[in-house]
Amino acid sequence: MIRVLHVVTDMRYGGLETMLMNYYRKIDRKKVQFDFLEHRQGRTDYDCEIEKLGGKIYRLPPLNPFGIHYKHRLSIFFKEHPEYQIIHVHQDCLSSIILKVAKKYGVKVRIAHSHSNNQDKNLKYIIKMYYKRKIPKYATYLFACSEDAGRWMFGNAKFSILHNAIDTSKYAYSVKKRKQMRSEFDIKEETLVIGHVGRFSYPKNHMYLLEVFKKISEERDAILLLVGDGHLRLEIENKINQLQLKNRVILTGVRNDVAELMQAMDAFILPSKYEGLGIVVIEAQAAGLPCIVSDKVSLECKKTELVHQMSLSDEPEKWAEKLISLSAIERKCHCEDIKTSGYDLEDNATKLMNFYVQQSI
């Protein structure tokens, strides 16, 4: 059995983490096993499932590019675990720090994986740009979730696309599931439900999203379903109260049944300030949901005619009008469209597993 070490921040419910788990569940674990090096001490959402699937979890302090203690702990880890000859690093621009130490300790295959096409432009941005440029020097392979994400992270260096593939069968539109999920949240069938799935963080742009929904609620009997959680939750709750939307917005928290929740929705919105791909848009299309995404989201996520792009410079009223009009589209399953576009999980999991096996020869 080949053991591949995935280096992450932690394994809470999120786009990157869910993508990894989708692959992990699908690969032949008699041939390839995933282990995880997390940069947080507390247990998180997927840890129990990882252990049930046979994976090992190791922990380091938060990644600090200037921390002598961190780099010392990282060196000790690779010194104590020479069994890992394949590492797959998901630490955005700072991946070069881990890759450099891994190279020093003789790790043969060192993969850097880009999941985003931008970063917040603050003081840390300058630091990240410095370390980003070093990634091709220490990585043996470069992966990205999209062309935009690859070009942003790796520049002119050669990289491969690894799709954030999904199990399309889970998202097939079902009237029965729709009724069940609406019943859970006490939502009437005639109520318009706008959905969003994402961490409560700056890139997801919840403040603009709420402004859009405010305009929708002035025109229609509508509910906003916000799936996720994060450090901006209090700020988002305050905005909801400020806009007098408390009875119109449902905060589901972190859920592991996103496919079912999408059945309850009528339209999907992703007004992100930046995205690597927007895997939730792939999922929403599989579920047959019309989607509006911002002009900062790569249209590589558009696999059907359900996806429409709008500018963040547009007034919220414009987004609201478009969402209301799109919600009238007859709902049907688009799973086959997603499969034929190359996002089928089974096919992609086989390709990834074969890649790991080939590297171990």
Average of per-residue pLDDT values in the chain = 94
- One of 3.30.360.10, 2.40.110.10, 3.40.50.2000, 1.10.1240.10 is the CATH number of 2-165+344-359, namely 3.40.50.2000
Handedness of CA 174, 180, 183, 185 (dihedral sign): negative
Query: How far is it, in rounded angstroms, from Cα 111 to Cα 89?
Result: 6
Helices (H) and strands (E) in the chain, counts: 15, 13
pLDDT score recorded for residue 121 = 64
Query: How far is it, in rounded angstroms, from Cα 16 to Cα 339?
Result: 20
Query: How far is it, in rounded angstroms, from Cα 217 to Cα 142?
Result: 45
CB atoms within 10 A of CB 121: 10
Domain 2-165+344-359 and domain 168-340, same fold? Reply is yes
At 178-204, the pLDDT tens digits run: 999 999 999 999 999 999 999 999 999
Instruction: Specify the DSSP class assigned to residue 342.
Output: I
Q: At what angle do helices 15-26 and 279-286 cross, to 10 degrees?
A: 60
Beta carbons of 294 and 118 less than 8 angstroms apart: no
- Grade residue 256 by pLDDT with cuts at 50, 70 and 90: confident
At 217-234, the pLDDT tens digits run: 999 999 999 999 999 999
**Cα three-residue angle 108-351-296, rounded to 5 degrees:** 95
Exposure on the CB side of residue 334, measured as CA atoms within 13 A: 23
- Grade residue 311 by pLDDT with cuts at 50, 70 and 90: very high
What secondary structure does DSSP assign to 194-236, as a single string? EEEE--SSGGG-HHHHHHHHHHHHHHS-EEEEEEB--TTHHHH
Domain 168-340 class, CATH top level: alpha beta
Dihedral angle at the C-alpha atoms of 272, 273, 277, 283, nearest 10 degrees?
0
> Residue 123: is it exposed, middle or buried by C-beta count within 10 angstroms (0-12/13-18/19+)?
exposed
pLDDT score recorded for residue 300 = 86
pLDDT score recorded for residue 124 = 75
The CB-based long-range contact list for 238-247 (8 Å cut-off, 24+ gap) reads 239/206, 239/207, 239/210, 240/210, 243/210, 243/211, 243/214, 245/210, 245/213, 245/214, 245/217
pLDDT score recorded for residue 216 = 98
| Section 312-341 average pLDDT | 94
Query: How far is it, in rounded angstroms, from Cα 291 to Cα 198?
Result: 14
At 63-92, the pLDDT tens digits run: 999 889 999 999 999 999 999 999 999 999
Phi–psi pair at 309, nearest 5 degrees: -110, 140
What secondary structure does DSSP assign to 272-339, as a single string? -S--SS-HHHHHHHHTT--EEEETTS-GGG--STTEEEE-TTS-HHHHHHHHHHHTTSPP---HHHHI
Query: How far is it, in rounded angstroms, from Cα 261 to Cα 284?
Result: 10
Is residue 277 over pLDDT 90? no
At 98-144, the pLDDT tens digits run: 999 999 999 999 999 999 877 666 667 788 889 999 999 999 999 99
pLDDT score recorded for residue 333 = 86
Query: How far is it, in rounded angstroms, from Cα 236 to Cα 240?
Result: 6
Domain locations in the chain?
A: 2-165+344-359, 168-340
Q: Tell me which residue of 284, 310, 286 sits closest to 296, measured CA to CA.
A: 310
